[in-house]
Structure 1
Amino acid sequence: MSASLVATEALTMTYAGGVTALADLTVDVRSGVTGLVGANGAGKSTLLKILLGLLEPTSGSVHVLGLDARGEGPAIRERVGYMPEHDCLPPDVSATEFCVHLGRMSGLPTTAARERTADVLRHVGLYEERYRPMGGYSTGMKQRVKLAQALVHDPDLVLLDEPTNGLDPAGRDDMLDLIRRIGSDFGISAVVTSHLLGELERTCDAVVVIDGGRLLRQSSTADVTAETPVVAVEVDGDPSPLAARLAEAGVEVEARGRLLHVDVADPAAYDVVRDACAELGLGLVRMERQRHRMVEVFSS
């Protein structure tokens, strides 16, 4: 099993005035793409600042890449890339100048910084626009520059704070695809924060769900979205007679518009559905196994 990239134990952060942002948080993040999910104000950004050594926690332990974030913040920031949530790009500077500058600040020689900048700007789809001042960039392009600068110094881990913030649906899909490819193209693991459950559900290998600064769940995405004992049944006519026939046969069924959600905990239910459709002269369009959705973590 891979070593921990991020490990916290009983991590607590209470601000002046008694506001608790994190409470007794214990997590263990491994390689891959990990989603840090929670509503706005759940403590996600506070946790990232603590991981970078920019904020001192009230109590508990926190290690990043084996380094203690309480006293080794500079060493952590040498090996970790950070994409902030808010716009922070100088408008009169090109993407190339910006990324080269940050690469050199991270210790890369000038030639290496320029080569690495070309690589990451190509990865994020800005290679043709790399010499334009960033003040003329769209929101999507600015988000891509922020991702590129987080990758330019070849970190072992990147922390991405709400990377799809302000993007339209197509832009969000493009950004999520870029994040998925960070591992395959560069071999870099990522922690991604979001308040949109569906994004992390299809992007991340694992999820850490926090609410009010407390851990609700940590597991692989596959575990969270495991199959349920329910199939969605669609037929080519009115499903009401089929629903009635299944109920008469003792099969639990729930009508949801044109779909019937049928309990198949007993595999014999599949045969009942098939036979009932044949008897009623209904064409069976599809039977699709349903999966748990990440939103259920918050409603359970």
Structure 2
Amino acid sequence: MITTESLTKRYPRVTALDRLTLDIEPGVVGLVGSNGAGKSTLIKILLGLLAASEGRASVLGLDVVRDGSKIRERVGYMPEHECLPPDVSATEFVLHMARMSGLPTAAARERTADTLRHVGLYEERYRPIGGYSTGMKQRVKLAQALVHDPQLVLLDEPTNGLDPVGRDEMLDLIRRVHTDFGISVLVTSHLLGELERTCDHVVVIDGGTLLRSQSTAEFTQATQTMAVEVTDSERHPDGAAAVCAALVGSGVAVTADGRLLLVDVSDESTYDTVRDAVAGLGLGLVRMEQRRHGIVELFRPQTPDAQPVPFRGQHEKEGSRGSASTP
């Protein structure tokens, strides 16, 4: 779906992309990185809106330098920034975008109605966009990206500014874009949990370089670690510490993470040992479950001698750092 080879973008004082090489297959793919990691720069290069300093890139088999207009015919784009005219309705705006993409008037009207219904704006489609909530505006941006029935949509931070309910609804819509219509999706975010639950594959970049590209299922598979949480009692005010001491005395490897105990599961007998330790201390068992990897671990060292890779906070904006370096 997307291929880059040594893709580099330099500005006078900043390197936004640094020899980025990756291959992205069809499906729902998450591009994760902090603000300033190079996500938006990559999308603009893929759309042919920004020239790379070095390297090559192709989208749907089309070269981004030679075939920019052909790429934009087949790709939908939902920008991160505010870009909607406030004094027109959603129907007028999405219809205009459909006509701009080359659809005849009748087909454009039909596609506009269908797309606004799909994103949940059918009842509100004739109201001026200026009176919409942030969540409704995000849905309009998604609708205009889908109205011409593209093969691929690029969604840049689609949950920006949304409350938890709005984020959940947007993530469900994104998933349905692929499951209901077979359209591939590349979605960017700096929120790791969003991509973990939405995407089939995750590409992680930081400082314009590739950290990891891996299927979500492979990375979030179950570990050999069990998470145990227990209650306290008058006899044992710190129940977790008491259980930890008992397990260590039984030869079980355990690590305390606050009130949560992370127990290494060597074999089936480990479960019995934990149960007996909790019961023997007269404590209650809140939960005992197999732990799964989280995408946040992509930013932790993978070898004992590796250096931690920083995941920059949301306050850092693209272009506010020095030249990128390879982690």
User: Alignment partner for residue 195 of structure 1, among 165, 177, 190?
Assistant: 190
Unpaired runs of at least 5, structure 1: none
Q: Name the aligned partner's letter for residue 10 of structure 2.
A: T
**Residue 3 (structure 2) pairs with residue 10 (structure 1):** no
Q: Name the aligned partner's letter for residue 254 of structure 1.
A: T
Q: Name the aligned partner's letter for residue 172 of structure 1.
A: R
Residue-by-residue CA offset, 1:38-79 (whole Å, 9 max, x unaligned): 111111001000110111111111110010011100000000
Q: 1:47: which partner in 2?
A: 42
Q: Name the aligned partner's letter for residue 293 of structure 1.
A: G
**How far 1:282 moved relative to its partner?**
3.8
Q: 1:247: which partner in 2?
A: 248
Deviates more, 1:221-230 or 1:137-146: 221-230
Distance 1:248 1:181, change over 3 A: same
Kept in 2, the 8 Å contact 1:79–1:156? The answer is yes
Q: 2:265: which partner in 1?
A: 264
Name which structure has the greater RCO, CA cutoff 8 Å, separation 6+.
Answer: 2
CA RMSD for the aligned pairs?
1.5
**How far 1:272 moved relative to its partner?**
1.3
Q: 1:184: which partner in 2?
A: 179
Identity %: 71
Q: 1:106: which partner in 2?
A: 101
Q: 1:280: which partner in 2?
A: 281
Q: What CA distance in whole angstroms lies between the structure 2 residues aligned with 1:104 and 1:256?
A: 56
Kept in 2, the 8 Å contact 1:151–1:158? The answer is yes
**How far 1:283 moved relative to its partner?**
4.2
Q: 1:292: which partner in 2?
A: 293
Q: Name the aligned partner's letter for residue 10 of structure 1.
A: S
Q: 2:24: which partner in 1?
A: 29
Deviates more, 1:263-272 or 1:218-227: 263-272
Q: What CA distance in whole angstroms lies between the structure 2 residues aligned with 1:268 and 1:7?
A: 48
Kept in 2, the 8 Å contact 1:230–1:265? The answer is no
Q: What CA distance in whole angstroms lies between the structure 1 residues aligned with 2:286 and 2:130?
A: 51
**How far 1:169 moved relative to its partner?**
1.4
Q: What CA distance in whole angstroms lies between the structure 2 residues aligned with 1:191 and 1:129?
A: 27
Q: 1:126: which partner in 2?
A: 121
Q: What CA distance in whole angstroms lies between the structure 2 residues aligned with 1:189 and 1:265?
A: 41
Q: 1:234: which partner in 2?
A: 229
Deviates more, 1:218-227 or 1:197-206: 218-227
Deviates more, 1:201-210 or 1:71-80: 201-210
**How far 1:236 moved relative to its partner?**
4.4
**How far 1:257 moved relative to its partner?**
4.1
Q: 1:206: which partner in 2?
A: 201
Alignment of 1:83-162 (within 5 A): 83-162=78-157
Residue-by-residue CA offset, 1:155-187 (whole Å, 9 max, x unaligned): 000000010111111111111111111112221
Q: What CA distance in whole angstroms lies between the structure 2 residues aligned with 1:258 and 1:58?
A: 50
Using the size of structure 1 for normalisation, the TM-score is 0.94
Q: What CA distance in whole angstroms lies between the structure 2 residues aligned with 1:108 and 1:265?
A: 61
Q: Name the aligned partner's letter for residue 141 of structure 1.
A: M
Deviates more, 1:237-246 or 1:62-71: 237-246
Unpaired runs of at least 5, structure 2: 233-238, 302-327
User: Alignment partner for residue 162 of structure 2, among 164, 167, 177?
Assistant: 167
Q: Name the aligned partner's letter for residue 62 of structure 2.
A: L
**How far 1:281 moved relative to its partner?**
3.9
